[in-house]
Amino acid sequence: MQHAHRRRGFTLIEILVVIAIIASLIALAVPTLMGAMENARVNECKSNLRQIGTSMALWMNRGSKSGYFPKESGIKFLLVLVRDGQITGKDTKVFLCPGPKDQNWTAEDTTMGSAYKDWDAIDTTTISYAGRDTKNHPINQNRANEEVIASDDNEGRSNHKFAINYLYADWSVQEFDQVVDAREQGVTIPEGGYLEIGPDCPVELFKKLSVE
């Protein structure tokens, strides 16, 4: 007479071991995933700045503006591209970094770019980038390619955990590492802090930009 073998279930110890292994794997995977997501946001931000640079180059070749940068300062230095129709509609998304929660539409009008319709009401919550402070730092036309004209604004918060992306007038986009590059320049950043763009920034590069 054959006896049927009874299947033995998992013991509590075995279940706990499996749970511990899964938890360990998740703990190892999460930082990697978060790092990949942050890199993706930084790269998308760089793409935005490149598109802004391309649009600025086209704007500068229009009619009487030929060869000259906007005279406006700060965020309006960049937003003349919307005011003058160089960037319109859904394309205005390039002014939104994927890091912060800025939005360029209003509660009353959710159309992309609607927040830029009232030129006098534009504020820093409608754009994620700082523009050139042309009032205090005019662009030297003879050395324009060496000038920085835009960057992450980081006003009141950091757009990215470690990086600040910035755009030169030769339309190239560079990345400033807030840890490595700051240390090399002798700049101390408070733990958990970040660099704020503007005249008080300890990094000379970003003093010529403004969010005003």
**Does some domain include residue 6?**
no
The pLDDT > 70 percentage for the chain reads: 88
**Does some domain include residue 122?**
yes
Give the span between the Cα atoms of 119 and 159, in whole angstroms.
24
Domain limits for position 106: 12-210
**Does some domain include residue 5?**
no
What average pLDDT does the chain have?
86
Instruction: Note whether 212 and 136 are within 8 A (CB).
Output: no
Give the span between the Cα atoms of 71 and 188, in whole angstroms.
33
**Does some domain include residue 64?**
yes
DSSP single-letter state for residue 144: G
**Does some domain include residue 162?**
yes
Domain tally for the chain?
1
pLDDT at 24 over 80: no
**Does some domain include residue 1?**
no
208: nearest Cα among 133, 143, 129: 133
Q: What is the pLDDT of residues 136-186, one digit of tens each?
A: 999 988 788 899 999 998 776 778 888 999 999 999 999 999 888 888 888
Give the span between the Cα atoms of 163 and 203, in whole angstroms.
14
- pLDDT of 13 reads 77
- pLDDT of 10 reads 66
**Does some domain include residue 7?**
no
**Does some domain include residue 2?**
no
Q: Which amino acid appears at position 18 of this protein? A: V
Average pLDDT estimate for 36-41: 78
Find where tokens 């000259």 sit: 68
Q: What is the pLDDT of residues 181-211, one digit of tens each?
A: 888 888 888 776 788 899 989 999 999 999 8
pTM over 0.85: no
